[in-house]
Chains A and B, each alone.
Chain A
Amino acid sequence: MPQTLLLPTFDEPARSQRDGASANRLLAAMPDAEFRR
């Protein structure tokens, strides 16, 4: 029987899941970055 393989995937968080400063150690430390504005 063929099986559906659920691969580990990389997804962007939905807008409702975004917490601003983010939980990424690097992003959290660069609040002044232009792309954070």
Chain B
Amino acid sequence: MGQVISEPGSELAYAYFPLTAIVSLLYVMHDGESAEIAVVGNDGMLGITLFMGGNSTTIRAVVQSAGMGYRLPASELVAEVARGGATLRLLLLYTQSLVTQMTPTAACNRHHTLEQQFSRWLLLSFDRLCGNEMVMTQTLISKMLGVRRDDVTAAATALSASGAIAYREGRIRLLDRAVLEQASCECYQVVRHECDRLLPPARQANC
């Protein structure tokens, strides 16, 4: 797994604003099994508990894809939010977009095929990455999706055969976005459209 930024129950000392890094929000069971509930990239921030008032959450935040981002001392974010200005409104909209991402994920994990879930996860990740390649072992993917490694292998093989991706030695390359979107379920489009409605336009990352 990647660098752990926060563990369940811990209080963040900083708010994190990724530029090129991607952070996964995972729910971890008592037996160590886990599943990703949302992903945060240059579209958002890690640390909504700082302005929601609850101080900690039940999730683990792990760096999924290495990269850069800003970290802001928690006290500075809290002070800014206390001003009650545009930043607070923006962060509340982001919180709604994060909930929007979690909602179909819960239903998707229950009702859609693993290939569809894997496609959704790839699209959400590539949307937040610089370039069209990510380094990701099947073991890590199985942790993210909460499934067996063999099932990830089967889904990756199917997507490779369709021409959507190339997967070799832990490197996933996006070959055909349209094919990958076809392989996904409606959940990806729901999340994307809602995030675009709620959040300011995306800018190209300085890769």
The residues of A with any CB-CB pair to B shorter than 8 Å are 6-13, 17, 19, 21-30, 32-35
Contact = CB atoms under 8 A, between A and B. Distances in A.
B179 interface: no
Contact of B90 (A8, A17, A29, A35): A29
B116 interface: no
A8 B63 contact: yes
Interface centre among A17, A28, A29 (most CB of B within 10 A): A29
Contacts of B63: 7-10
SS class, residues of chain A in contact with chain B: loop
Given A19-B206, A35-B80, A8 B21 contact: yes
Size category of the binding interface on chain B: 35 or more
Given A10-B16, A22-B70, 19 more contacts: A7-B66, A8-B65, A10-B67, A11-B21, A11-B69, A12-B70, A13-B69, A22-B19, A23-B203, A23-B204, A23-B205, A24-B44, A25-B200, A25-B202, A26-B17, A27-B17, A32-B86, A32-B87, A35-B72
19 contacts: A7-B3, A9-B63, A10-B18, A10-B66, A10-B67, A10-B68, A12-B69, A12-B71, A13-B68, A13-B70, A19-B206, A23-B205, A24-B42, A24-B70, A25-B43, A25-B199, A26-B45, A28-B200, A34-B80
B4 to A, nearest CB: 9
Contacts of A8: 2-3, 21, 63-67, 135
B178 interface: no
Contacts of A30: 86-87, 90
Nearest to A24: B17
B76 A35 contact: yes
Interface in B1-47: 1-3, 5, 16-21, 23, 42-45
